């Protein structure tokens, strides 16, 4: 199979060609400007390769719910040029092939359970902590949708009593993204996260918020693994701090075999930051499969 994958981000569009084994054969990165400027470049790349299907993991919010009026749209994003843009429709029309569509973080968790060390797991979440914070949710063997997709990076948290920072989120004073994203770290401490590696207090506080969110994710999703990725999680010293605070905050309330060893429960991504693009390949495969199933049904086969 020749599959297209698009990891659509706020700053760049990573376009790739790959196959059903999760091999990426070629990839290019195109700056995210506006649909008028950026779409033709992406289309030209995918057209060159005659792809059979495309999978898009997209910055949000988006509408990933098939059968609704604005399915396939990027909706209320602060990136004004892309607001209410029917990205799925544009690709379908120009490429004439099936298009799969979900959030960037849902694509990432799908990549991990399809091609990573979590392969075959039916319940798993992927939390990215970077410029923003987002959560991809795979439960009961499927990506979670409802009215729309999870926006679990914005859950409201208990502030640390010693933390007087007002938060970076324009909507919520005390949500995870506002308190723990890369820009929040930078604004709170007056320096970029990657230059603060040796400041213990920075990472203790960061771990407090991430751990508190992870406790809540365990309580709501009951996931069999929590994968932490994104730029901030490149600070590997965070993992033991998060696990320790998670244990304290959970206080043995939930007891399962999975939680016995947190080193195996709260883990880094296994695909070296390729989880997103590989998840997009899987979205393409799933879209193609669904398309074929519908076609067969139509033909009465």
Q: Shortest gap between Cβ of 73 and a copy of itself (angstroms)?
A: 12
Is 144 a binding residue for a copy of itself by CB under 8 A? The answer is yes
Q: Kindly tell me which residue out of 1, 191, 254, 293 binds a copy of itself, with binding defined by CB under 8 A.
A: 254
> Is the distance from CB of 213 to CB of 155 less than 8 angstroms?
yes
HEC letters along 192-249: CHHHCCCCHHHHHHHHHHHHHHHHHHHHHHCCCCEEEECHHHHCCCHHHHHHHHHHHH
Task: Give the nearer residue to a copy of itself in terms of CB position, either 55 or 64.
Answer: 64
Span of 31-39, 180-188, 244-252, 277-285 interacting with a copy of itself by CB under 8 A:
244-252
> Is the distance from CB of 9 to CB of 29 less than 8 angstroms?
no
Write the interaction track for a copy of itself spanning residues 185-214; mark x where CB under 8 A is met and - where it is not: ---------------------------x--
Is 156 a binding residue for a copy of itself by CB under 8 A? The answer is yes
Residue 51, CA atoms < 13 Å, CB-side half-sphere: 35
Span of 83-91, 168-176, 227-235, 290-298 interacting with a copy of itself by CB under 8 A:
168-176
Task: Give the nearer residue to a copy of itself in terms of CB position, either 12 or 183.
Answer: 183
What is the spatial distance between Cα 105 and Cα 276, in angstroms, rounded to a whole number?
A: 7
Is 117 a binding residue for a copy of itself by CB under 8 A? The answer is no
Is 215 a binding residue for a copy of itself by CB under 8 A? The answer is yes
What is the spatial distance between Cα 210 and Cα 176, in angstroms, rounded to a whole number?
A: 7
Is 114 a binding residue for a copy of itself by CB under 8 A? The answer is no
Q: Is 258 exposed, middle or buried (0-12, 13-18, 19+ CB in 10 A)?
A: middle
Q: Which of residues 73-102 bind a copy of itself (CB under 8 A)?
A: 75-76
Q: With H, G, I as helix, E, B as strand and everything else as coil, classify residue 93.
A: helix
Q: Kindly tell me which residue out of 131, 174, 247, 270 binds a copy of itself, with binding defined by CB under 8 A.
A: 174
Q: Kindly tell me which residue out of 251, 299, 300, 301 binds a copy of itself, with binding defined by CB under 8 A.
A: 251
Span of 43-51, 86-94, 193-201, 245-253 interacting with a copy of itself by CB under 8 A:
245-253
Q: Which two tokens stand for residue 228?
A: 């932490």
Is 221 a binding residue for a copy of itself by CB under 8 A? The answer is yes
What is the spatial distance between Cα 159 and Cα 167, in angstroms, rounded to a whole number?
A: 10
Q: With H, G, I as helix, E, B as strand and everything else as coil, classify residue 264.
A: helix
> Is the distance from CB of 301 to CB of 23 less than 8 angstroms?
no
Q: How far is CA 167 from CA 180, 184, 194, in A?
A: 8, 7, 19
Task: Give the nearer residue to a copy of itself in terms of CB position, either 69 or 299.
Answer: 69
Is 19 a binding residue for a copy of itself by CB under 8 A? The answer is no
Q: Shortest gap between Cβ of 103 and a copy of itself (angstroms)?
A: 11
Residues that bind a copy of itself in the complex, under the rule CB under 8 A: 61, 75-76, 123, 135, 137, 139-140, 142, 144-152, 154-159, 171-172, 174, 212, 215-224, 249-256, 258-259
């Amino acid at each position: 199979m020749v599959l297209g994958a698009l990891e659509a981000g706020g700053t760049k569009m990573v376009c790739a060609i790959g196959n059903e084994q999760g091999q990426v054969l070629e990839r290019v990165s195109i700056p995210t400007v506006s649909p008028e400027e950026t779409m033709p470049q992406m289309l030209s790349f995918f057209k060159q390769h005659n792809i059979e299907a495309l999978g898009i993991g997209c910055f949000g919010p988006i509408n990933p719910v098939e059968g609704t009026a604005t399915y396939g749209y990027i909706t209320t994003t602060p990136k004004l040029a892309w607001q209410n843009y029917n990205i799925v429709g544009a690709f379908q029309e120009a490429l004439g092939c099936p298009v799969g569509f979900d959030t960037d973080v849902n694509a990432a968790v799908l990549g991990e359970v399809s091609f990573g060390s979590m392969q075959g797991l039916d319940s798993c979440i992927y939390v990215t902590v970077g410029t923003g914070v987002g959560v991809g949710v795979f439960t009961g063997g499927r990506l979670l949708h409802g009215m729309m997709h999870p926006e679990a990076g914005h859950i409201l948290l208990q502030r640390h009593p010693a933390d007087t920072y007002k938060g970076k989120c324009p909507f919520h004073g005390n949500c995870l993204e506002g308190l723990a994203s890369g820009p929040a770290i930078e604004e709170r401490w007056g320096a970029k996260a990657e230059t603060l590696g040796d400041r213990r207090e920075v990472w203790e506080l960061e771990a407090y918020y991430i751990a508190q969110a992870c406790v809540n994710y365990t309580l709501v999703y009951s996931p069999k693994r929590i994968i932490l990725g994104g730029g901030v999680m490149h600070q590997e010293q965070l993992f033991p701090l998060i696990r320790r605070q998670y244990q304290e905050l959970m206080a043995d309330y939930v007891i399962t075999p999975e939680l016995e060893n947190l080193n195996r429960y709260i883990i880094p991504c296994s695909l070296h930051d390729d989880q997103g693009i590989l998840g997009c390949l899987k979205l393409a495969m799933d879209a193609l499969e669904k398309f074929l199933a519908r076609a067969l049904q139509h033909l009465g086969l």
